[in-house]
Structure 1
């Protein structure tokens, strides 16, 4: 039995299956550590090697920075709760976690679409404008979603059936009709998930034909490696996010929602740098160059 104040929430997570808590703690700790190492490496390499001062690596560094902040807004609190018998989060902490994670998540949705456009963005000022626009849209929509959700009356309910303060789980606490909030959330999900995904697919449909006309097999392979890396990241991120947000929260499956959230908040940010680094010879060369410079 938890004794909590009205200014706290209980994050139930898997408290009904305590045998899973230590396993999840270890898995999330591994994911978080690898996310920190992998994304920090991409940022440093892209900054240190002048050969990587291109639009693609500018946006890739932005993606890595977003992933670092995204997992840090969620991971430490989750790890603490797995080790604690008192799985609470303050109201202020819940609001901050909801707003920051939503902002970064929405921004990443748009940034992945912009990365499909980067071959046209050869001018650095245009890259900066595109990156700034994704941030403004992401943080602005998150502010709207957070305010609309937290103003709903909860009638004393404070037990969140989740690992974190996430929108669908918080809507389930409301003791009033949330159909307007659900409609607004679906509209936002359409704009931030389906529209960017559609743009990416259209962009790659236009890319396919010119790539096939490249005479050099090496040139075709390099281009396909870059495209398949980006598409792999897109599939992982959008696939789990769409399964979570493109459904009414009233039909929200708690167990499926928890697993989907763990995947796109902890697993995908860990896989992003691995996908880009393992398939990218330019990053390999840059890592070797940085290694030689450090040894000197």
Structure 2
């Protein structure tokens, strides 16, 4: 039987993880975006901003309005209303300048069947004054042996990898990646994640549309959950998952007795209760570290430590009543 011990007022969600020190400006600013297709409202009053150097995730089920949002953001679609700025530029009025600073990988892209991969790469390199090292990009994404192959001979996963290479070839200031690892095997997916982290390390801002939970949790500083054209929540991955369980939880067996006030006094702790001989601590932020360090100061060790396993999927279900893989008409 679980016996309550003490509780105190709930603290705010986890603060965003530390961004690049230069990330003080907004690279992407979207305010009150709305886009309809006839009677279908695909995007309705969407607003968010992305700091320079941030990896920002847009997460939601098929049909939520994710792809429409990014297509409006990069100027491929004209919104019905709202304002969009990319490094201060209007994607409609400043189209040419935006093309110089933004790299894009969309869900669906294709090239003439008889173009070779090397020809496509050379063509894209010619668009930029200072292109990236193509050899490095295709090696990371496993395309080094495909330079002489026709586009038509590439598998779906290989075409996806090529589209990521083309999005990064111009060394953009902002990279917009829409379901970049769909169709990739697990190892290729992780290699791509490593590449994206290195690209961000060079100061590139990344807007990542995805439905892979592990991908968002691994890469994103913050995530916007979108459903039915609305932003239903925006927070760090840790902050969103904490909402799914009402806060983070750490369950452990203390090696000896201690005053409960040691833990309830911590700013990260919101409640503690006993489950048999174990103690369950609920809270936010770096909860596990705070608890373990506090116990250490009084000579107590936390044994059999178990952490809360809530996911972004849990958070989305809690906030919308839907699962991320439910189908829709417009993505």
- TM-score, normalisation: structure 2: 0.23
TM-score w.r.t. the length of structure 1 is 0.25
Larger radius of gyration: 2
Task: Identify the structure with the greater strand proportion.
Answer: 2
Whichever structure has more helix as a proportion of its residues is 1
